């Protein structure tokens, strides 16, 4: 099939389909009609055209849906300005949209137009002449298209009249170069070259090449293309000219050079009071890519105790200082940070200010959450969401848990958890490296072969190997993998001693790929090309595929980023790297990941997950080889991310501001959100559990601790007295029953009894949020202001009928089946204790219906599901209704809910018949407006041992 004919037909048909007023009416039959119309325009396009492939691609493009962006906004001093008339004849945006429409679904382009309009409107009119300063944050998803979003924003900003556009593009040359190339395509329209005479139109330049609108560039795509004084000397900046684009690293030397050049060549006014030079005639837009990385001031700024005013003589960190100085040099400026992990930015003090730098980078004007399209594969999609005993829709076939990279104690082996730069990876297998890595490489080869057969051979395919942060160790791994691929290539190309290789690949095909495709197709049919080819077809092209694979080290040079853009055909790359792969850099067509690096910091882990993103037509071929511990942590991240987005949407609905959300995140009991330096403290965190749910997921296996915790439960039961005869409540999804043989329930229990229980209960150090001592302190503090004084308590039995436990004269409970999460010598770890529906246990019928309404509204905002037929309220909705109330419902912040379970895994835990059970608890805290917090002390050594990246 002619690939060029296919692309031409798709583009023409998409243009015809875009004229349809109701895109929901686009059906395969309508697509077929439009194909016929397109072929009438040019009959020669029929040559070798595979109509089925065209139809499949267009169905994919029109089958996605996108949620609604949501924003917390502070419009103090802001003047609304963006009108439809103002957008007329915006040529930068129009050519970018046209270019995007050639390869993005219509819904995605519409979503991009809508979200960039909203962000631009939250900035200030560049034609407004009096001084203004708008600072905001756009929160996307890892690998979800943030670059495409801010490219669209830049196009619209340039159309509106912003003249100086500075993009802060990461810390390394490869990321800066990659960003420059993206903006060459999406904004400039030509390849940036040190020699202006060598100009080649690309991207939007092929849509509209009018030289009269061609933006100016200062930086270029080469390795040495960052801002330099020599190139700057030739620049002449005039306000009436076309916009100027600077793409620069977050580097002290580069930013200092740029700041000095702005003062020397752009400044047109001297401020009388201070004598400092400023630019008043050119509006500035700064885009800060990965805004939580390097931009945040990690030095603690002091504030006056009585006035809360900042110390104007504070000395911030270098990168933060220079970004702020550049902004401070303009009287009219806008700053927009982009990140998937906004936690560090939210820890910036909203009143941080110095004389030299001006205001800090807190997103005072707005925080906007970008909705992900339905075809985005994020943490919740891969690792599923908690539903109690099982995780819902976890893509299990894609995840392979491995443990052959080191010894059981983690101190030696091919790649032990803790190793030094002098470490020499060695494995006793015949390959010199773990068999799991050999299998991962085989999986990559098969994925490339199938993509080729699926007509995706012209697209890039990548494999990520991320096992160490040390360059010297990466070099050894690179050599091992290169030798392995070279050996495979020689044997397959010469057909000598190749039978063993083909047998190994055939086994993986039958045992893994065939069943995985079948299962993934059932879970997410829209993201998988139906069916697999016969093994005979795959076998035939494997030798050619292996010969096309290149093994690279990603070491920070520009060439690493250039290869994708400069390749006319699809590259097949195994990329070995560490920190430079961990943030920002996009691996095109990532199909296979071999990932060993461990960190418990929320933002670090999220950024390391380069396998998130879009996998159209080949999701079933993707594989993640990683440790059970990292799977556990990513599951935790998936749940916490959704929880924070739900909190954010609640604040949007109630008219909150960026500062309100900042206070919520700063006090969130997920203790590992970001590094203590970025939080500007290494000793204490102020935590609030209001509106949260906490649960024990790790249990000490020491028999004395197990018995002590069971005794604490029996003492609580004795103190609470008679069980409450809870009325059966009819619900859409069934019934909640209490007083049955497998459930016990109490109401109006004093917080003193709850605190006694928590004071006697011993939680494991790995129990994350559920620290019994900390929870006791928080409840006591809340009770002093009249909240959390009355409690409902439920003991909820499970499905394990053998060995029912007699807890008291009137209470007999069966243990709850909770599968073991990984193998640990010091604890019984599970993925989830609570069943989400149990958080609604204490709500009366009116409260339950209010929680359903809140859940429906939140789901419609996120558009996580197209149906509004919600049968169960989510936890945050229950906590909101219980504490703050809802429409027509009074809140009761004095009501807490304690849920107790007796978890057990009969398949992996062997306990004596007469042994005491594990006791687990979950607490659902009502939403509170009090702002009360409790202090959690943590020292640097503890943080490094428990949360920091393992070296």
Give 593: exposed, middle or buried? Use CB within 10 Å, 0-12, 13-18, 19+.
Answer: buried
Residues 6+ apart with CB under 8 A from 165: 154, 157, 158, 243, 244, 245, 246, 284, 285, 287
| Domain parsing of the chain, residue ranges | 3-61, 71-300+313-369, 376-405+434-635, 689-932
User: 332: which 2 tokens?
Assistant: 């009219």
**SS3 assignment, position 371:** coil
What integer pLDDT is reported at residue 556 of this predicted model? 54
Q: Where are the alpha helices (DSSP H) in 731-844?
A: 751-760, 772-783
What integer pLDDT is reported at residue 684 of this predicted model? 55
Distance of CA 267 to the CA centre of its chain: 39
What integer pLDDT is reported at residue 452 of this predicted model? 92
Q: What is the pLDDT of residues 462-488, one digit of tens each?
A: 998 988 888 889 999 999 999 999 999
pLDDT reading at 876 higher than 60: yes
| Range in 266-280, 710-724, 908-922 with the lowest mean pLDDT | 908-922
Distance of CA 551 to the CA centre of its chain: 27
Give 387: exposed, middle or buried? Use CB within 10 Å, 0-12, 13-18, 19+.
Answer: middle
Q: How far apart are CA 156 and CA 137, in angstroms?
A: 17
| Mean pLDDT estimate for the chain | 82
Q: Domain 71-300+313-369 adopts which CATH fold?
A: Rossmann fold (3.40.50)
**Between these two residues, 763 and 932, which has the higher pLDDT value?**
763
| Range in 279-283, 302-306, 564-568, 889-893 with the lowest mean pLDDT | 302-306
| Range in 530-534, 614-618, 858-862 with the lowest mean pLDDT | 858-862
**SS3 assignment, position 835:** coil
pLDDT reading at 434 higher than 50: yes
What is the number of other CB atoms lying within 10 angstroms of the CB of residue 238? 9
The DSSP secondary-structure symbol of 649 reads H
CA distances from 721 to 746, 807, 843 (A): 8, 13, 21
CB 375 within 8 A of CB 527: yes
* pLDDT cut 70: percent of the chain above it: 80
Q: If you search the block for the tokens 């067509």, which residue do you land on?
A: 589
Q: What is the pLDDT of residues 36-57, one digit of tens each?
A: 999 998 888 888 888 888 887 8
Q: What is the pLDDT of residues 63-86, one digit of tens each?
A: 666 777 888 899 999 999 999 999
User: 742: which 2 tokens?
Assistant: 């497998």
pLDDT reading at 533 higher than 80: yes
* Residue 125 C-beta-side C-alpha neighbours within 13 Å: 13
Q: Where are the alpha helices (DSSP H) in 524-587?
A: 535-548, 558-566
Q: Where are the beta strands (DSSP E) in 451-526?
A: 461-466
CB 403 within 8 A of CB 472: no
What integer pLDDT is reported at residue 740 of this predicted model? 46
Q: How far apart are CA 298 and CA 678, in angstroms?
A: 5
| Range in 343-347, 642-646, 873-877, 885-889 with the lowest mean pLDDT | 343-347
**Between these two residues, 442 and 905, which has the higher pLDDT value?**
442
pLDDT reading at 841 higher than 60: yes
Mean pLDDT to the nearest integer, 385-411: 78
Residues 6+ apart with CB under 8 A from 524: 381, 395, 619
Query: Model's pTM, two decimal places?
Result: 0.72
**SS3 assignment, position 44:** helix
| Residue 942 Ramachandran class (φ > 0 left, ψ -120 to 50 alpha, else beta) | alpha
What integer pLDDT is reported at residue 232 of this predicted model? 66
Mean pLDDT to the nearest integer, 535-563: 81
Q: How far apart are CA 473 and CA 831, in angstroms?
A: 33
What integer pLDDT is reported at residue 654 of this predicted model? 66
What integer pLDDT is reported at residue 95 of this predicted model? 96
Q: pLDDT confidence of 235, banded at 50, 70, 90?
A: low
Q: What is the pLDDT of residues 241-278, one digit of tens each?
A: 789 999 999 999 999 999 999 999 889 999 888 889 99
């Amino acid at each position: 099939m002619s690939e060029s004919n296919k692309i031409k037909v798709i583009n023409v048909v998409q243009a015809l389909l875009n004229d349809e007023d109701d895109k929901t009416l686009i059906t395969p039959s309508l697509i077929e009609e439009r194909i016929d119309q397109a072929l009438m325009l040019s009959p020669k396009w029929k040559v070798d055209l595979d109509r089925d492939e065209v139809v499949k691609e267009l169905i994919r493009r029109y089958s996605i849906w996108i949620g609604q962006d949501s924003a917390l906004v502070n419009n103090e001093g802001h003047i609304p300005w963006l009108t439809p008339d103002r957008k007329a004849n915006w040529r930068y945006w129009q050519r970018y949209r046209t270019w995007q429409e050639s390869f993005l679904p219509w819904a995605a382009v519409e979503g991009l137009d809508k979200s960039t309009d909203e962000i631009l409107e939250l900035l200030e009119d560049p034609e407004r002449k009096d001084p203004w300063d708008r600072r905001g944050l756009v929160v996307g998803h890892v690998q979800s298209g943030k670059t495409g979003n801010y490219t669209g924003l830049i196009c619209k900003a340039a159309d509106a009249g912003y003249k100086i556009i500075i993009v802060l593009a990461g810390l390394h040359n490869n990321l800066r170069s990659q960003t420059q190339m993206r903006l060459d395509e999406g904004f400039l329209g030509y390849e940036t070259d040190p020699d202006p005479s060598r100009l080649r139109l690309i991207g939007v330049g092929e849509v509209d090449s009018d030289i009269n609108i061609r933006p100016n560039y200062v930086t270029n795509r080469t390795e040495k293309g960052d801002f330099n004084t020599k190139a700057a000397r030739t620049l002449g900046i005039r306000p009436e000219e076309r916009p100027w684009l600077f793409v620069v690293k977050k580097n002290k030397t580069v930013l200092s050079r740029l700041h000095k050049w702005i003062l020397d060549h752009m400044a047109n006014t001297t401020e009388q009071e201070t004598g400092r030079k400023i630019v008043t005639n050119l509006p500035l837009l700064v885009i800060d890519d990965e805004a939580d990385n390097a931009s945040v001031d990690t030095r603690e700024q002091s504030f006056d105790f009585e006035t809360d005013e900042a110390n104007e003589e504070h000395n911030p960190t270098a990168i933060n200082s220079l970004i702020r100085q550049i902004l401070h040099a303009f009287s009219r400026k806008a700053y927009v940070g982009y990140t998937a992990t906004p936690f560090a930015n939210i820890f910036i003090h909203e009143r941080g200010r110095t004389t030299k730098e001006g205001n800090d980078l807190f997103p005072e004007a707005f925080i906007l959450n970008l909705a992900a399209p339905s075809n985005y594969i994020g943490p919740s999609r891969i690792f599923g969401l908690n539903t109690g005993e099982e995780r819902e829709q976890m893509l299990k076939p894609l995840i392979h848990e491995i443990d052959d990279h080191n010894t059981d104690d983690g101190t030696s082996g091919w790649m032990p958890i803790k190793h030094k730069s002098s470490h020499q990876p060695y494995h006793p297998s015949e390959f010199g490296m773990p068999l799991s890595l050999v299998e991962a490489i085989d999986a990559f080869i098969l994925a490339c072969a199938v993509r080729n057969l699926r007509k995706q051979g012209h697209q890039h395919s990548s494999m990520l190997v991320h096992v160490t942060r040390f360059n010297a160790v990466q070099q050894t791994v690179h050599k091992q993998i290169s030798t392995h691929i070279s050996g495979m290539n020689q044997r397959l190309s010469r057909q000598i001693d190749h039978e063993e290789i083909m047998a190994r690949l055939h086994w993986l095909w039958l045992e893994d790929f065939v069943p995985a495709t079948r299962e993934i197709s059932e879970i997410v049919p829209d993201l998988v090309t139906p069916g697999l080819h016969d093994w005979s077809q795959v076998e035939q092209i494997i030798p050619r595929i292996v010969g096309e694979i290149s093994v690279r080290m990603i070491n920070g040079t520009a060439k690493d980023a250039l290869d994708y853009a400069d390749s006319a055909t699809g590259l097949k790359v195994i990329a070995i790297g560490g920190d430079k792969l961990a943030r920002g850099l996009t691996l095109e067509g990532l199909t296979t990941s071999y990932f060993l690096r461990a960190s418990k910091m929320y933002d670090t882990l999220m950024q390391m997950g380069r396998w998130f993103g879009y996998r159209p037509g080949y999701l079933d071929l993707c594989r993640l080889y990683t440790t059970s511990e990292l799977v556990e942590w990513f599951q935790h991240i998936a749940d916490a991310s959704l929880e924070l987005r739900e909190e954010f949407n609640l604040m949007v609905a109630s008219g909150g501001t960026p500062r309100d959300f900042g206070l919520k995140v700063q006090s969130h009991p997920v203790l590992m959100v970001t590094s203590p330096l970025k939080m500007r403290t290494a000793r204490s965190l102020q935590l609030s559990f209001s509106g949260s749910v906490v649960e024990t997921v790790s249990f000490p296996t020491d028999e004395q601790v197990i018995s002590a915790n069971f005794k604490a439960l029996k003492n609580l039961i004795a103190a609470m007295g008679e069980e409450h005869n809870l009325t059966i409540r009819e619900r859409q999804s069934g019934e909640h029953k209490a007083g049955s043989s497998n459930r016990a329930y109490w109401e109006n229990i004093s917080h003193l009894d709850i605190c006694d229980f928590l004071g006697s209960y011993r939680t494991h150090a790995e129990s994350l949020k559920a620290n019994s001592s900390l929870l006791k302190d928080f409840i006591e503090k809340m009770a002093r202001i009249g909240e959390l004084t009355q409690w409902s308590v439920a003991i909820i039995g499970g499905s394990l009928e053998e060995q029912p436990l007699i807890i008291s004269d009137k209470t007999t409970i069966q243990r709850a089946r909770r599968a073991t999460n990984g193998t640990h010598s010091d604890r019984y770890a599970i993925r989830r204790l609570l069943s989400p529906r149990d958080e609604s246990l204490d709500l009366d019928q009116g409260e339950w219906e209010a929680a359903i309404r809140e859940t429906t509204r939140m789901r419609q905002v996120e558009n996580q599901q197209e149906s509004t037929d919600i049968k169960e309220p989510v936890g945050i909705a229950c906590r909101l209704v219980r504490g703050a109330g809802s429409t027509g419902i009074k809140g009761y912040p004095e009501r807490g809910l304690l849920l107790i379970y007796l978890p057990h895994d009969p398949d992996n835990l062997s306990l004596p018949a007469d042994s005491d059970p594990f006791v687990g608890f979950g607490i659902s805290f009502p939403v509170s407006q009090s702002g009360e917090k409790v202090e959690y002390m943590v020292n640097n050594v503890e943080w490094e041992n428990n949360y920091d990246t393992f070296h």
